[in-house]
Amino acid sequence: MENNNNLPAVPSNALSEGYSHIKGWGIDADLKNDPTYPIKRRTDEERFGYTWERPAQQARDVEILTSTERNNLPAVFGTTLPPSGLSGAIRRFAFKYSESDYAHWLPLMLADRVGVAEGIISDLSRGHIPDYFNERGWGAEMEYNRKNFLLKVAAGAAVATAITALLIYRKRQKNQ
Amino acid sequence: MLAMNYRGPYRVRVDRDAPIPEIEHPEDAIVRVLRSCICGSDLHLYHGLVPDTRVGSTFGHEFIGEVVETGSSVHKLKVGDRVMVPFNIACGKCAFCRQELYGNCHESNAQATAVGGIFGYSHTAGGYNGGQAEFVRVPYADVGPTVIPEWMDPDDAVLLTDVVPTGYQAAEMGGILPGDTVVVFGAGPIGIMAAKSAWLFGAGRVIVIDNLDYRLEFVQKFAQCEAYNFSFMEDPVEFLKKATDSLGADVCIDAVGCEATGNTLNYIMGTKLMLQGGSTTALHWAINSVKKGGIVSIVGVYGPIDALVPIGNVVNKGITIRANQASVKRLLPRLIEHVKNGVINPKEIITHRIPLEEAAEGYHIFSSKLDSCIKTVLIPPSATI
């Protein structure tokens, strides 16, 4: 395949000079053999670290949790939903660990579940009762999959009835 | 403004009093959304599988809109421009953007280094709100957003922001050579576009594997390919080997990702117990169905934790794996040409056009594969086209 990277076929003299102490350095290099092309058009800039002209830095006016693998804040970032409450505390804990650590990702998954509960509490505190029927799009289920929907409702009702009956039975047994 | 609001797994609503976004950086623009798709990747968020998906988030990374405000450093766009907004948030200056890895920008995601910022795709992808709203903040507005050509249908334009480039790059990463046999796992929108794109790279044979008949029928017509239902196979890998002279396909494309069905244990471990970064069945099949020395291209989304894959087979078979989020900006000029010349007709995959106010139904229809759904587009009430 034609490689349009505009690179020479062998490493430049300037680069090879730095490795002159290693016998044979680069003698088999073939810059045309780049399996990443064209997904990555190699420039080798990243070898020199932050050499690019960075965009202006966005002001940080909310708490932004940052990966431990970064040495700075990116120039631009999302400011939605800063960490708060118990889920926020769990997220802060998670961000003490790197992206390659389960101790980063598993707490984040836990925080997401805690966040769901916090969302319900927040809704209720503002007088908003979560509308599960519409939030889950069950109207569409009724329209396009009515039989399955009715089966689900019936199964749910049966389970609820069974649990209620069991609780009543146990209560009566206790009282005797 | 109206904005989709995530409340937890399988629960979304549309708020009417969401705050209109503001310019937060000189290179920002504010865009009034004209079309926004629900993407298969959004379903991973909707199902609660992506870490750091915070309640209150607005999803949507596949959208077009009209510029209503620009920051002081935006020079290429002006108010009134109608733009396609690539799902990647990319600065255009960092080492990775300069290599055209716009999905891996180093200046747009504070929370993770693996992926750059993505609109409305959890805090793991930068914590930006997405386009399933009436307005959206678009960072680096001079880099990604591309003015929609006058002649282009807005329904084609919106699909050029994600699904078409992703399917195209899936085929491109396959390194397809003329005459190659290409197998695409998944007949969702991405798989459909990957199958269509495989021909453009000169594939000699394109096979699509899925378990939903309506999708297989669709892809068969749209991409003029072979399509098979794995539900009726004892072993899809054996089937594919037998279909390819017992050697395997030259290229296998995983267009499914972390919610693959087909293996109950893998599905439960990956999606219910979350003991691995998703159900890896499609990737298993891709690795095991490809020819020795072949290429596996992955565009399916997986979680960031470990995932079980037959890596020993990768080594023993000498397989090359290529994967990434699509680099939309890199591919757009070529894809616009393909749309102009009628080579690709993206809007043909749209099956559902739903008002933004009914986003919850839209998600449920797409997630549950109701009403023969292939692709859903949400249209805000303020959209003028």
Q: For residue range B314-333, what is the model confidence (pLDDT) as tens digits?
A: 999 999 999 999 999 999 99
Residues of A in contact with B7 (CB under 8 A): 116, 119, 130, 135
- d(CA B311, CA B315) in angstroms, rounded, equals 6
A-interface mutation test, from B111, B168, B373, most A Cβ less than 10 A away: B111
Closest chain A residue by Cα to residue B325: A39
Which ranges in A60-127 belong to alpha helices (H)?
85-94, 102-125
Dihedral (Cα; B343, B346, B348, B349), 10-degree rounding: 130
CB-based contact B94 A42, cutoff 8 Å: no
CATH number at residue B171: 3.40.50.720
A-interface mutation test, from B7, B14, B88, B275, most A Cβ less than 10 A away: B7
In a domain, residue B10? The reply is yes
- Per DSSP, the residues of B305-339 read S-----HHHHHHHT-EEEE----HHHHHHHHHHHH
Contact B185, B255 (CB under 8 A): yes
- d(CA A6, CA B51) in angstroms, rounded, equals 40
Which of these three, B301, B323, B345, is where a domain ends?
A: B323
My answer on whether B123 and B239 are in the same domain is: no
Residues of A in contact with B127 (CB under 8 A): 64, 77-81
CB-based contact A108 B129, cutoff 8 Å: no
In a domain, residue B126? The reply is yes
My answer on whether B319 and B348 are in the same domain is: no
Residues of B in contact with A105 (CB under 8 A): 51, 303-305
Could you give the C-alpha distances from B294 to B215, B291, B315, B316, in angstroms and in order?
27, 5, 11, 12
Cα-Cα end-to-end distance for chain A: 86
Distance from CA of B58 to the nearest CA of A (A): 9
Q: What is the pLDDT of residue B158?
A: 98
Kindly report, residue by residue over B260-298, the tens digit of the pLDDT. 999 999 999 999 988 899 999 999 999 999 999 999 999
Q: What is the pLDDT of residue A18?
A: 84
My answer on whether B125 and B266 are in the same domain is: no
My answer on whether B368 and B355 are in the same domain is: yes
Q: What is the pLDDT of residue A1?
A: 38
Q: Spell B29-53 as b/e; 16+ CB within 10 A means b.
A: bbbbbbbbbbbbbbbbbbbbbbbbb
pLDDT over threshold 50, residue A43: yes
Q: Report strand pairing: B135-138 vs B249-254.
A: unpaired
CB-based contact B7 A51, cutoff 8 Å: no
Cα-Cα end-to-end distance for chain B: 18
Q: What is the pLDDT of residue A7?
A: 56
Could you give the C-alpha distances from B107 to A15, B225, B247, in angstroms and in order?
28, 40, 44
pLDDT over threshold 60, residue A3: no
Contact B162, B326 (CB under 8 A): yes
Residues of A in contact with B128 (CB under 8 A): 78, 80
My answer on whether B254 and B337 are in the same domain is: no
Residues of B in contact with A80 (CB under 8 A): 54, 56-58, 127-129
Q: Name the residue facing A80 among B57, B124, B303 (closest C-beta).
A: B57
Range of the domain at B286: 163-323
pLDDT per residue as tens, chain B (385 positions): 999 999 999 999 999 999 999 999 999 999 999 999 999 999 999 999 999 999 999 999 999 999 999 999 999 999 999 999 999 999 999 999 999 999 999 999 999 999 999 999 999 999 999 999 999 999 999 999 999 999 999 999 999 999 999 999 999 999 999 999 999 999 999 999 999 999 999 999 999 999 999 999 999 999 999 999 999 999 999 999 999 999 999 999 999 999 999 999 999 999 998 889 999 999 999 999 999 999 999 999 999 999 999 999 999 999 999 999 999 999 999 999 999 999 999 999 999 999 999 999 999 999 999 999 999 999 999 998 8
CB-based contact B54 A81, cutoff 8 Å: yes
My answer on whether B261 and B350 are in the same domain is: no
Q: Name the residue facing B304 among A56, A99, A118 (closest C-beta).
A: A99
Closest chain A residue by Cα to residue B72: A56
Residues of B in contact with A131 (CB under 8 A): 13
Residues of A in contact with B370 (CB under 8 A): 140-141, 144-145
Q: Name the residue facing A78 among B55, B98, B127 (closest C-beta).
A: B127
Contact B344, B335 (CB under 8 A): yes
My answer on whether B116 and B186 are in the same domain is: no
- d(CA B252, CA B236) in angstroms, rounded, equals 13
In total, chain B counts a number of residues equal to 385
My answer on whether B298 and B274 are in the same domain is: yes
Q: Which residue has the tokens 């908003």?
A: A128
Which of these three, B278, B307, B323, is where a domain ends?
A: B323
CB-based contact A70 B361, cutoff 8 Å: no
My answer on whether B200 and B227 are in the same domain is: yes
My answer on whether B195 and B148 are in the same domain is: no
Whose CA is closest to B118, among B48, B39, B191? B39
HEC states along B210-279?
ECCHHHHHHHHHHCCCEEEEHHHCCCHHHHHHHHCCCCCEEEEEECCCCECCCCHHHHHHHHHCCCCCCE
Give kind and range of the element (H or E) at residue A149: helix A146-175
My answer on whether B86 and B205 are in the same domain is: no
Q: What is the pLDDT of residue B113?
A: 96
Kindly report, residue by residue over B202-225, the tens digit of the pLDDT. 999 999 999 999 999 999 999 999
Residues of A in contact with B324 (CB under 8 A): 39
Which of these three, B323, B340, B356, is where a domain ends?
A: B323
In a domain, residue B385? The reply is no
Domain total of chain B: 2
CATH number at residue B91: 3.90.180.10
Q: What is the pLDDT of residue A49?
A: 82
Whose CA is closest to A81, among B59, B378, B34? B59
My answer on whether B194 and B157 are in the same domain is: no
In a domain, residue B384? The reply is no
